[in-house]
Amino acid sequence: MKINKQKFGVLADGTKVHLYTVQNDSMSFSCTDYGCTLTSIVLNNDNGTKTDVLLGFSTLEGYLNTKFCFGAIVGRFANRIGKASFTLNDKKYTLDKNDGPNTLHGGFNGYDKMMWQAEVIKGSKQCGVKFKRTSPDGEQGFPGKVKLEITYLLDELNNLTCEYSAITDKATPINITNHAYFNLAGNGQITGHTVKMNSDYILEVSPKLIPTGKLLPVKDTPFDFTKEKSIGKDIGELGPGYDHCYVTEMYDPENKRCGCPLDDTDLVEFAVVKEPASGHEMAVYTNMEGCQFYTGNFIGGILGKNGVRYQAHDAFCLETQCFPDTPNKPDFPSCILNPGQKMKAKTVYSFKI
């Protein structure tokens, strides 16, 4: 296992940005302290070629100028909060309306545009980078000073583990995820990728993509991936494509199990994605109750890595998370982190090459 640190660029205020690359014999990943962003995941093919299965940018400038959070950490609350407000302990909090009338990924001042403190992790079985940042009380409109830690770790079995932890001095909603855009072929449309999900439900949403509070069975609908099928098979029935929160097996609909994750030892396998031409495969494990499946519906026209201009459906996202709009949905598992607790969310992307 090797770790390399190099300069990635300089911000307008003179802050130096670094790029860290972690590699084993079969693959590598790179990440930067700007936005706590995964910039590449490179698989070493048997024929000696390499495939970068992560969309993004070749330079820091690309990440500075995008609004699409390629590979970045999003929070304090990932996904949407309806009407850009919520009430906690009888106090109403008002947030940014950066998605029509709603808040998306924390608002205008996103974690993807912030610098993080980096620390190299060299273990006997895993190596990677830990990022730290303190979100002050009132940032993005949320209560509580929250100390955040994001860790990306690679092992010799080609498991890329993402660990998210937080502590707070006031009760606050917390929902952290990584917004990686994957393409297991490295380029082109992902409609030929096949997906199998261990998920019987999606969240019903309004036209503005705010959950209604109901769970909808996926059986016999275009949302059904309980048996392996291509992403493109039913995507034409969904307008622009998939952008829906699937319910993982961490959640028990009858007992409303789960909630703000306080234990990262209990993981479930949520999905397996395969790309037939290359033979690349990725499994996703998580301790979160939800996973937003998004098929890059709105990335068309973006100039990405190596001068490639991305098109809609050139990538898919599997963003493990709490259910969207949980602060306004008392029937959803709680996303509230209280003083004295430690949020511990974990997602593993496991690759077969």
Report, as residue numbers or ranges, the catalytic residues: 179, 319
Q: What is the per-residue pLDDT for 257?
A: 59
Cβ neighbours for 340, distance < 8 A, ≥ 6 positions apart: none
Residue 200 has pLDDT above 70, yes or no: yes
Count CB-CB contacts under 10 A for residue 185: 18
Instruction: Choose among 83, 81, 91, 99: nearest CA to 137.
Output: 91
Do 318 and 284 form a contact (C-beta atoms < 8 A)?
Answer: yes
Residue 253 has pLDDT above 90, yes or no: no
Q: What is the per-residue pLDDT for 111?
A: 97
Cβ neighbours for 344, distance < 8 A, ≥ 6 positions apart: 163, 164, 165, 261, 262, 263, 264, 287
Q: What is the per-residue pLDDT for 265?
A: 86
CA 17 to chain CA centroid, Å, is: 22
Convert the pLDDT of each residue in 104-137 to its tens digit: 999 999 999 999 999 999 988 999 999 999 999 9
Cα distances (Å, whole numbers) of residue 164 to 25, 36, 142, 260, 313: 26, 11, 18, 12, 28
Q: Percentage of residues in the chain with pLDDT exceeding 90? A: 94
Convert the pLDDT of each residue in 45-95 to its tens digit: 999 999 999 999 999 999 999 999 999 999 999 999 999 999 999 999 999
Sheet of 290-294: strands edge to edge?
211-217, 201-205, 243-247, 290-294, 317-321
User: DSSP 3-state assignment of 176?
Assistant: coil
Residue 254 has pLDDT above 80, yes or no: no
Q: What is the per-residue pLDDT for 252?
A: 84
Residue 181 has pLDDT above 90, yes or no: yes
Q: What is the per-residue pLDDT for 263?
A: 84
In one-letter notation, the amino acid at residue 166 is: A
In whole angstroms, what is the distance from residue 88 CA to residue 18 CA?
Answer: 38
pLDDT band at 256 (very low <50, low <70, confident <90, very high): low
Residue 260 has pLDDT above 80, yes or no: no
pTM of the model: 0.96
DSSP codes joined into one string, 26-80? SEEEEEETBTTEEEEEEEE-TTS-EEE-B---SSHHHHHH-SS-TT-EE-SB-SE
Instruction: Choose among 267, 294, 271, 293: nearest CA to 282.
Output: 271
Instruction: Choose among 225, 223, 205: nearest CA to 213.
Output: 205
Q: What is the per-residue pLDDT for 25?
A: 95
Do 132 and 115 form a contact (C-beta atoms < 8 A)?
Answer: no
